[in-house]
Amino acid sequence: MAKIIGGVGVSHSPTIGFAYDAKKQNDPAWKPIFEGFEPVKSWFNEKKPDVLIYIFNDHITSFFFDHYSAFALGIDSEYSTADEGGGARKLPPISGDLKFSQHIATSLMTDEFDMSFFQNKPLDHGFFSPMSVLLERKDEQWPCSIVPLQVGVLQFPIPTAKRCYKLGQAIKRAVESYPEDINVAIVSTGGLSHQVHGERCGFNNVEWDHEFLQRLADDPEGLAEITHKEYAELSGMEGAEIIMWLVMRGALENKVKTVHSSYYLPSMTAISTIVLESTENSPIDVKQHLTRMEHQLKDVETIQGTYPFTVALSQDRFRINKYLHDLVIPEHRELFLNDPELSFTQAGLNEQEKTLMRNLDWRGLIHYGAIFFGLEKLGAVVGVSNLHIYAAMRGESLEDFMKTRNTQVSYSVSSNTNSIDKESLNEDSIRELIESDQ
């Protein structure tokens, strides 16, 4: 079984990455940062975690307010550095753990945390600023993989401190129920005290920062009761993101020891680290938890002709589903209609995917792992009604399928669709369909 080897809290100020890239390790103004980080780096080197569950907040880089989630779990195979306006830092991408992230996703949803999931998004300084210093890379290879968990703390309402603490407890159950023997470190980032906006810009509270570090080890439940307003008052509005440290603390046992702690206030943000290890062991009932995780979809495969779209399928078939989704973009749609082969190549589709698309093999695409609502968009683009697609799913002609409906109507998600009455869509190429429609 997987086990949690400890928890790390660390500030993620972009100044850390700046000082590292500018080789300021011996500069008197920056040296204390690296001195405080060195024991954490040594801890990582000694413990050799296989995976980091990394809790952070994005800074309106990969996540914007057109779709802003409280908790977003990364389920990708790789995470690259984000361009935050001045070009991306020259750091190699870090690997994600697909199987482990799938397990965590199911476990957290089982524990009634309403997660969202992300792929194909780079990570900003919330990850790469501190970890470029703390994780020792050999031949440009990171020593472990990550499962990132983005917490939406920038647009209120945000999760409470208590909810973050409970999320950590749920992460503990997720890790300890994972069947593979891997070592997992929980890393939470943000803070400490700082404010970067308004007339209070530049606020810090050294006394509170030290109290928070002490209480994080000894009184996390007390910290979980503090309101957002109180956190903002004590640590600055942006410093209130330290509620994310409670996710890490909740994943540990009730009693912990502080292996290392550091604190330095160079400019705008108090930069701190803490390493905690559990001093007791209260294992979960793994069998009971796994049974709960399996309960909702148990034996779903016995429902004939039914294929749930899971996070595993989303990971594995991301490319084809992104291609179908992007048909809502006029430029992508036009290229597909005018030169489908070039469109396929530019999207990196493999030969199997190209063949499925050429043949408009609706049922084959479902079996392959495409989600129906991407096919619905494809149908709208090529002028095929939903009813044609439904008939093809069942291996029936449109006429036979319509006999099973109460009304004889044809429709599509596109208001511009001209219905094409063909009994055997799977045998027609995209180009033939387009030409016949024209």
Annotated active-site residue 367? The verdict is no
Instruction: Give dist(CA 316, CA 310) in Å, integer.
Output: 10
- Does residue 71 contact residue 167 with C-beta atoms inside 8 Å? yes
Exposure string over 380-415, b if 16+ CB within 10 A, otherwise e: bbbbbbbbbbbbbeeeebbeebbeeeeeeeeebebe
- Residue 55, beta-bridge partner list: 149, 188
Classified as helix, coil or strand, 369 is coil
132: number of Cβ within 10 Å: 18
Surface-to-core class of residue 19, CB atoms within 10 Å of its CB (0-12 exposed, 13-18 middle, 19+ buried): buried
Hey, which residues does 12 pair with through a beta bridge?
none
* Dihedral class, residue 139 (left if φ above 0, else alpha if ψ from -120 to 50, else beta): left
8 Å CB contact between 180 and 103 = no
Query: Is 125 a residue of the active site?
Result: yes
Residues 6+ apart with CB under 8 A from 425: 360, 362, 384, 388, 389, 392, 433
Burial bucket for residue 307 (CB in 10 Å: 0-12, 13-18, 19+): middle
- Backbone φ and ψ for 113, nearest 5 degrees, come out as -95, 120
Rounded distance between C-alpha atoms, residue 186 and residue 76, angstroms = 18
* Residue 54 DSSP SS3: strand
**Residue 15 to residue 56: CA distance in whole angstroms:** 16
Q: Which CA distances in Å does 63 have to 93, 124, 151, 189, 341?
A: 18, 10, 10, 17, 32
**Catalytic residue chosen out of the listed positions 59, 67, 103, 194:** 194
Q: Which of 125, 260, 295, 388 is catalytic?
A: 125
- Amino acid letter, residue 25: Q
CA–CA dist 245, 209 (Å, integer)? 13
DSSP structure string for 83-127: --SS---S---EEB-HHHHHHHHHHHHHTT---EEE-S--B-HHH
Q: Which residues are catalytic?
A: 125, 194
